[in-house]
Amino acid sequence: MGVVSIIGCGFVADLYMRSLQAMDGITVAGVHDHNPARLRQFCDFWEVPAVDTLEQLLDRHPRDGVVLNLTNPSAHFEVNSACLDAGCHTYSEKPLAMTLQDAKSLHDKANAAGLMLASAPCSVLGEAAQTLGHALRTGIAGTPRAIYAELDDGFVPQAAYKKWISESGAPWPFEDEFRVGCTLEHAGYYLGWLISWFGSVRTVVAASAQTIPDKEGTGPFAPDLSVATLFFENGPMTRLTCSIVAPHDHQIRIIGDDGVLACKAAWDNSAKVTFAKRLTIRRRLMESPFPKALKLSQPTHPKVKRWGAAAMNFMLGPAEMLEAIRAGRPSRLSNDFALHMTEVTLAMQNAGETSGAQTMTTGCDPMEPMPWAM
């Protein structure tokens, strides 16, 4: 299908390599990390070519391939800029950049050069998100009126995170995770789905706070809890919560005129998607206690077994870009989609107590469904 090069080979890079093994025909041209010991450990484990400098990596990267930027968020702007300046289509781990100004400048740079610039997460291209999208388009639950989506990870500061080691030996970077914050890290997992179905968010009314200031490591730390109300140009009012405080809950519920569509796992491509019809039994209004499991009628995409907290194919996004380059068509993970998701995420993260209503300045169209979910 095509060629990728990888920059940054820490914790998440192993999840990409495991996913890559499930995909047909994607090869790795080269891998670079500015930590030579980590680069060697990763490349020996996965048997992929190590490249000593970023310049060499970009130099030898084929221009019809995709560079994966899997570095820490604070390096995203600089590394994404370097990839685009070198004329490379770029898939960036989230967020695209740490400020809206930087994200906009990357977006403008990519557009001016005719390059693709996409942002993780790509679970929007996965089976669960596409099954829900199909259910929304076919109207099984009637008009959607409201959505509740939760990305609560449990009380992570008390978790045994020092024992979370990736397959090839990278520790989970807890200090960086606490500094970047769960909103920048995770909001995209449901924002991506929501924006793909409904297009642009018009207004964000959010609040965010640090509820556990004395986390381990060197701060300053980011908010560890955010709650946002999203008003779409063309979609139902939505509440989205991100935290590393509240008990683990990754469900999304779409409340329609005829019942509730739901999925309980944001990080599992194969998660069950259900529809609970609304009923009146005697005088009592309720959603059916026996929800129906919804399935697409066609085979979907290669799945990856659960590793740690996720059962996701991290290569669906890069594969979508490679396929779009090969076919000469726009990528579903468009530059506008990446920028808009970043703006909404930053509005949640930076809301604090007093931001009030924030009007979004970017936008994008809803995403074309995957062919197997039409």
Ligand X SMILES: NC(=O)c1ccc[n+]([C@@H]2O[C@H](COP(=O)([O-])OP(=O)(O)OC[C@H]3O[C@@H](n4cnc5c(N)ncnc54)[C@H](O)[C@@H]3O)[C@@H](O)[C@H]2O)c1
Contacts to ligand X by CB under 6 A: 7-13, 32-35, 38, 54, 70-73, 75, 79, 93-94, 170, 172-173, 176, 185
Residue of 146, 133, 94 lying closest to 341 (CA atoms): 94
Of the pair 98, 195, the CB lying nearest ligand X is at 98
Question: Measured from the CB of residue 2, what is the shortest distance to ligand X in angstroms?
Answer: 21
Of the pair 185, 268, the CB lying nearest ligand X is at 185
- DSSP per-residue letters across 109-167: HHHHHT--EEES--GGGSHHHHHHHHHHHHTTT-SEEEEEEEEE---GGGS-GGG-B-T
Query: Closest residue (Cβ) to ligand X?
Result: 10
Question: Measured from the CB of residue 32, what is the shortest distance to ligand X in angstroms?
Answer: 6
Question: Measured from the CB of residue 197, what is the shortest distance to ligand X in angstroms?
Answer: 22
Question: Measured from the CB of residue 239, what is the shortest distance to ligand X in angstroms?
Answer: 23
Of the pair 38, 303, the CB lying nearest ligand X is at 38
Q: Which helix (H) or strand (E) holds 2?
A: strand 2-7
Q: What tokens appear for 112 in the block?
A: 């001016």
Question: Measured from the CB of residue 286, what is the shortest distance to ligand X in angstroms?
Answer: 38
Question: Measured from the CB of residue 38, what is the shortest distance to ligand X in angstroms?
Answer: 5
Of the pair 205, 309, the CB lying nearest ligand X is at 309
Of the pair 185, 320, the CB lying nearest ligand X is at 185
Q: Is 346 exposed, middle or buried (0-12, 13-18, 19+ CB in 10 A)?
A: buried
CB atoms within 10 A of CB 64: 11
Q: What tokens appear for 204 in the block?
A: 């964000």
Of the pair 189, 337, the CB lying nearest ligand X is at 189
DSSP strands (E only) in 76-224: 89-92, 117-119, 144-152, 201-209
